[in-house]
Amino acid sequence: MIKSYKRNCILCGSDQADKIFNFTFNFITKVRKQDPKDLKEKFGWDEESNNWIVKCNKCDCTYVNEILKGNVLDIEYETEIYKDSVEEEFKKFFTKENLKKQINTQKYNESILRNILNNLKKKDKIKLLDYGSGQAEFSLLKEQFNIDEITSYDPRYPNNTTEIFNKCGVNSKAANNLKEILSEKFDIIICQSVIEHVTDPSYEISCMKKMLNENGIIYINNPYMNIEKDLKNLLTVKEITKKDHISCYHISHVNYMMPNIFIKLCKKNDLQLINFWQTYSTASKTNNFFQVLKINFNSFIHFILNSFGIYYKKQHFFFKLDKI
């Protein structure tokens, strides 16, 4: 079952790279506290396995050069293995009690969508694609924002996902095969918590571009992970909890692109960054007034810096088609 995948640089294709940080079995189970059984059965690891975050000699892009993800590798997904677990996930997620708990995440998603809609020329009959939709959270915003149609695409969805959606009252169309939607056009494409996970980010971005309407907007978040700055911490830390900044370093994440590298990859795929003051009605985890103030102040600073071509700690990226 050991499905591993060797890659050259995800931005420039070079195979010349320097090793930076090694994920070892020990690190993942002891420091990251991932269940060893899960790591072995799902990801195909053993005690000797490891994978490296490397830095391209040519373009400085940082990425994992040999992905070791076993059953959860996103190439030739065997979706039916997770048929029952996906149904369980949706049943649990779409209960009233849980949705109440998700209110801050929901408000955060609302902010993202509002930022997109403020920049979108088209005002009605809007088609939205949630690319790598997970629990199809954006479907919850369909009525509030008067979105005409939402497609939730996730290659992990089993073939009976439409049935699951109907059962759980999910207000969107389910898709698990990119080929089936690739000829469609969307006004909005949202790609959240995806790009750091995928084996071929350039390919995924090229697909999104293909499906974007002429005046459409793509939103992608690319978490800020500065491996060179965090390296010392990663090498000495004894335990990492969710709250820690370095909790973004785990083996599900295989792309550690700094903002300027990520923008280059999008430019290569004919996407052009849109710069505006992004506003948020909540911080991602809390609804604390000062947190919200801070996040809006920071996004104002980002707006100013971005207009000078400085992308310091940038995580939220809004794109339109580059007209050549």
Which parts of this chain interact with Zn ion (CB under 5 A)? 9, 11-12, 14, 56, 58-59, 61
Nearer to Zn ion, 17 or 189 (CB): 17
SS3 category, 19: strand
Q: How far is the CB of 61 from Zn ion (least distance, A)?
A: 5
Nearer to Zn ion, 8 or 105 (CB): 8
Q: How far is the CB of 132 from Zn ion (least distance, A)?
A: 24
Nearer to Zn ion, 11 or 53 (CB): 11
Distance from C-alpha of 134 to C-alpha of 125, rounded to nearest angstrom: 24
In terms of C-beta density within 10 A (0-12 exposed, 13-18 middle, 19 or more buried), how is residue 304 classed? exposed
Q: How far is the CB of 12 from Zn ion (least distance, A)?
A: 3
SS3 category, 305: helix
Distance from C-alpha of 198 to C-alpha of 131, rounded to nearest angstrom: 12
Q: How far is the CB of 310 from Zn ion (least distance, A)?
A: 22
Q: How far is the CB of 58 from Zn ion (least distance, A)?
A: 5
Query: Residue 134, by phi and psi: left (phi above 0), alpha (psi -120 to 50) or beta?
Result: left
The owner of tokens 């995948």 is 5
Q: Contact, 319 vs 273, CB < 8 A? A: yes
Nearer to Zn ion, 150 or 225 (CB): 225
CA 251 to chain centre: 14
Nearer to Zn ion, 61 or 170 (CB): 61
